[in-house]
Amino acid sequence: MIKPMDNFFLDLSLFYINIAGEIAHRLDAIPLVMRLFPFFLLLEVPYQLLISVGIIKYYFIHTAEKHTPSSLYSPRISVILTCYSEGERVGKSIRSLIHQEYSGDIEILAVVDGSEKNAKTSAAAHRYAREADTMRGRTVRVIDKKVRGGRVSSLNAGSLYSTGSIIMNLDGDTSVDNDMAHKIVRHFRDPLVLAVSGNIRVRNISCNVVTHLQGLEYCLGIGGGRTGLSEIGMINNISGAFGAFRRTVVEKIGGWDTGTAEDLDITIRLKEFMGRNPKLKIVFDPHATSHTDVPDRFRDLITQRFRWDGDLAFLYIKKYWRIFTPKIVGWKNFLQLTVYGLGIQIVLPFLLVLFHVWLMVNFPAGHVAGILSFTYLVYTLFTAIFYFQYLWMISREKKKDILLIPWIFVYPAYAFILRIMMTLFILKELLFEAHRYSSMAPQWVLEKGKF
């Protein structure tokens, strides 16, 4: 039986205070200046520097390349458009795919999950699908799944109906730039490329404070972060909202798995597959761009991150912990999974919370304010450096992105709040298996899943 949330937060606070007190007792012999130093920076800064090196590599190698559309390599693409409650917004996605500047065939499979309850989405998908009738090399097929089975169910159903050698997943409310298909496909010329992760930009960024901060987060974490990781062969995730896969590989690993975040799940299984051949690659293209709407209320953002962070903890700690060895996934993927996955995403949020609780318990307010100000200044500085690197070396929408600069000064506070929330979401997953109550699939589907 799950405790009421007020008792849960009280127990969690006491837990942190007790641990902080024990740490303080054991660290009495360490000089004060060393105890006050925000040691978590020693974990995070080297990782960010590694990403920055990858971005520099991208800038000097890829920006010198001339990529022009070619009809010599234009395989058939099957786009699985997962639809649920988008309504008329699904039209933007279908239209953006129909009007791609791509010489090959594009097959669009709009899979409407729970179509009886989502009649508006189904009707809109059927209506916009007719626009492809006059377009050469473009077909749209609407698959109405009357009974809701969840996102993974839609992906696997679309995969069964697909005929392309490249399978792409796209959210029903996500639109893409006209040159997206060409930019994604060019990577598959290399037979060693298994999958390509596309870039995601925030479409409703100008709505309010919450969307502006998410827009900056997407630029730093996806546009910048994954570019750097891709260049050093350590890509962390293929976005569920926008990713492409070689069909043969999807079939070999058995498609998408139910029960949790399908994007990270299939990424980890691809890394396991890559362990058999270290030369295989997953790449990220920052200029294969999609646009999506993000939560415009903080309450909705917290709900979204509750699912994301809980699923992440489940996958890393419970479902796939056995494969976290260099022998299975290779050294690069092992380092990425352990340093970034376990270290930065799982352990670091707890270290941040424990450090700040320890400060407040053991030192006067003036000392606490000083060290917090120093930490905030360091994070602001690194955020600014990293963002200007992204703006200069990656962004192709500089006039839009430069408007995000003032939000750099608020971003560390936003990131810290999300990390505090992350500790709660991870704990709830570990204690109560919250992934079993996901909104991404009906309860009967989750109960039948192996995990």
What pairing do the DSSP bridges indicate for beta strands 175-176 and 106-113? unpaired
What pLDDT was estimated at residue 105?
96
In a domain, 292, yes or no: yes
Phi, psi of 198 (to 5 degrees): -95, 165
Q: What is the pLDDT of residue 34?
A: 47
Do the domain assignments include residue 181?
no
134 in a structural domain: no
Q: Burial-class residue 406 by CB neighbours within 10 Å (0-12, 13-18, 19+).
A: exposed
Total-model pTM: 0.88
**pLDDT score for 169:** 95
Per the structure, the complete domain to which residue 401 belongs is given by 1-66+190-451
Would 276 be classed as within a structural domain? yes
Give me 434's structure tokens: 């919250």
Query: For the chain, what is the domain count?
Result: 1
pLDDT at 29: 44
pLDDT score of 2 = 47
Cβ count within 10 A of residue 259: 24
In a domain, 298, yes or no: yes
Cα(136)–Cα(140) distance, rounded to whole angstroms?
12
In this prediction, residue 343 carries a pLDDT of 85
Residue 14 parent element (H or E): helix 5-26
Please check whether residue 221 lies inside any domain of the structure: yes
Contact residues for 399 (Cβ-Cβ < 8 A; gap 6+)? none
405 is a domain residue = yes
**Between the CA of residue 215 and those of 187, 381, 401, what are the distances in Å?**
26, 19, 9
pLDDT tens for the chain, 451 residues long, are: 444 445 554 555 555 556 555 555 554 544 544 455 566 667 788 888 899 999 999 999 876 665 555 567 899 999 999 999 888 999 999 999 999 999 999 999 999 998 888 899 999 999 999 988 888 999 999 999 988 888 888 999 999 999 999 999 999 999 999 999 999 999 999 999 999 999 999 999 999 999 999 999 999 999 999 999 999 988 989 998 899 999 999 999 999 987 676 788 999 999 999 988 889 999 999 999 999 999 999 999 998 998 888 888 888 988 888 888 998 998 889 988 888 888 888 988 888 888 888 888 888 888 888 888 888 888 899 999 999 999 999 999 999 999 999 999 999 999 999 999 999 988 888 887 776 766 666 666 666 666 6
